[in-house]
Amino acid sequence: MLLPGPRHLAAKLRDGCRDMSYFGGLFSTVFERRFANAVSTQAEGRTITDLSLDLLGAMGEVSGSTLAQMILDQYANGNDTDKRAFFEFMAQDLEIDPVEVVESLKVYKEAPSKRSYRDYTRASEPKRQELLRRLNQVPGGTQRLVSMRKDLLGMIKGDPKLGPLDVDFGHLFASWFNRGFLVLRPINWSSPAEILEKIIAYEAVHAIDSWDDLRRRLQPSDRRCYGFFHPAMPDEPLIFVEVALNKGVPNSVQTLLADGRNPIAAEEADTAVFYSISNCQAGLAGISFGNSLIKQVAADLARDLVGLETFVTLSPIPGLSKWLKTTKSAPLKKASLEAQAAHYLLEAKRDDKLPLDPVARFHLGNGAAVHAVHDGADLSENGMRQSGGTMVNYLYDLTQITTNHEKFVVEKTVAASAEVHALSAQVTTAK
């Protein structure tokens, strides 16, 4: 009788392990379903606040997942009054205890140790942060929490006591949506229809009015589109940028998006134009993606198309018309619209000495420079309302981005071309 050799023994062991793994997984799944059903039955009729307290006390993964799903479902099915009550519960009942924070900090200050520091951090973190973390662990939880914050932002203006809750949302989202988790994906005419539909819906700068319009922006050889996606929300773009590959710096969005224009070969282009950047998730307001997106896309394009020498935007000036209505400067009123726009971009500041215009703050904060101003660049209804049709090119000089960014942050310096400075100077000489 021949004894099985080492290979035969190894194969039998592998087969046995596979069988055990299969049946073990089967039994585990059955157990989890039965346990989840039991948890669900026990929780029937309980309020969302009761379920939240149960979730914070839950020790098992299965029970925690079931409770989290029930909380998210109850929230989604609730009306505005129900949702506000849930937010108030989190803001008030799951708040920190200031006395405990002070006492634990005192202990840590007098006797620093791992334990005293742990006690301090535990006291200083509101329980609602842990609740949000546990809600985030279920499938689809991340996207539902983003929607939840969208609701919160809609209510917070009239209810300042909800402000600390939003700080917690922002704190957690900044970690969950940091650059290391984001995936840059090209979006083209071959992308899934559900993604293309969302590009149409989320476009916030130059409205896409038809599928043919979308095709003109995605299909030609001289057009590109890129978006950031998160693994927990794979079918939801967080932000996207539309790019036109061009010969020279454009001075009009009408020309750039003209129906019937003649596309050029990508290799013929010397300029990449970022003409539309759209944030897609209202619940992620305040979480910055654009900085990383533009720099990554510029770097990728420079690598793939060696003929590209210039990277610019063709951007709106959304605050110009409103500012012009409020200013009483006689010289400003007499200057040309281009000069008014240049002066606004360079000189109109908030109390913190940063530019008044939000788009300017974004691009200048990224390290760009105000390059050129163009009248009649956007004759759409929105463009005329925002800025009288004026638009601006922000230049992304890859060799100057870091320097411009540091000067802007530290010294509040607005980097700009000599041409723009000359336009702005016309305001002071206008009579």
Strand, helix or coil at 284?
Answer: helix
Q: Does domain 22-176 have CATH number 2.40.40.20?
A: no
pLDDT score of 288: 86
End-to-end, the C-alpha distance of the chain in Å comes to 113
Query: Hunting for tokens 């990449």 — which residue is that?
Result: 272
What sign results for the dihedral spanned by CA atoms 108, 133, 126, 93? negative
In the chain, % of residues over pLDDT 70: 88
pLDDT score of 20: 45
pLDDT score of 40: 54
CB-CB contact of 428 with 334 (8 Å): no
pLDDT score of 422: 96
Rounded to whole angstroms, the Cα distance separating 345 from 291 reads: 19
In the chain, % of residues over pLDDT 90: 81
| Domain chopping of the chain, boundaries | 22-176, 181-429
CB-CB contact of 200 with 214 (8 Å): yes
DSSP 176-205: HTSGGG-EEEE--TTS-HHHHHHHHHH--S
User: Mutual orientation of helices 127-136 and 80-93 as an angle, nearest 10°?
Assistant: 130
Q: Which residues contact 55 (CB under 8 A, 6 or more apart)?
A: 64, 67, 68, 71, 131, 134, 135
pLDDT band of residue 312 (cuts 50, 70, 90) is very high
The encoded tokens of residue 328 equal 């009483």
pLDDT band of residue 428 (cuts 50, 70, 90) is confident
Alpha helices (runs of H) in 44-126, residue ranges in sequence order: 48-57, 61-77, 80-93, 98-110, 114-124
For the entire predicted model, the pTM comes to: 0.83
Rounded to whole angstroms, the Cα distance separating 345 from 392 reads: 9
Does the pLDDT at position 429 exceed 90? no
Burial of residue 329, with CB atoms counted within 10 A of its CB: 0-12 exposed, 13-18 middle, 19 or more buried: middle
pLDDT score of 3: 46
Q: What is the pLDDT of residues 361-407, one digit of tens each?
A: 999 999 999 999 999 999 999 999 999 999 999 999 999 999 999 99
Rounded to whole angstroms, the Cα distance separating 312 from 102 reads: 51
Which contacts of 318-324 are long-range, i.e. CB under 8 A and separated by 24 or more positions? 318/357, 318/358, 318/359, 318/386, 318/387, 319/344, 319/348, 319/356, 319/357, 319/358, 319/386, 320/344, 320/357, 320/386, 320/387, 320/388, 320/390, 321/385, 321/386, 321/387, 321/388, 323/348, 323/356
Q: What is the pLDDT of residues 55-112, one digit of tens each?
A: 999 766 778 999 999 999 999 999 999 999 999 999 999 999 999 999 999 999 999 9
pLDDT score of 333: 83
Question: Domain 181-429 carries which CATH code?
Answer: 3.40.630.150
Q: What is the pLDDT of residues 272-281, one digit of tens each?
A: 999 999 999 9
Q: What is the pLDDT of residues 19-50, one digit of tens each?
A: 444 444 444 444 445 545 545 555 567 999 99
Least confident among 35-39, 130-134, 148-152: 35-39
Rounded to whole angstroms, the Cα distance separating 37 from 62 reads: 10
- The number of angstroms, rounded, from the C-alpha of 417 to the middle of its chain's C-alpha atoms is 30
Least confident among 22-26, 260-264, 412-416: 22-26
* Number of other residues whose CB lies within 10 A of the CB of residue 399: 6
What sign results for the dihedral spanned by CA atoms 423, 426, 428, 431? negative
Rounded to whole angstroms, the Cα distance separating 393 from 384 reads: 17
pLDDT band of residue 17 (cuts 50, 70, 90) is very low
Supply the mean pLDDT for the chain: 90
Output 22 or 146, whichever has higher pLDDT. Answer: 146
pLDDT score of 43: 57
Q: Where is 316: in which H helix or E strand?
A: strand 315-316
pLDDT score of 2: 43
pLDDT score of 380: 93
pLDDT score of 334: 87
CB-CB contact of 269 with 222 (8 Å): yes
Strand, helix or coil at 94?
Answer: coil
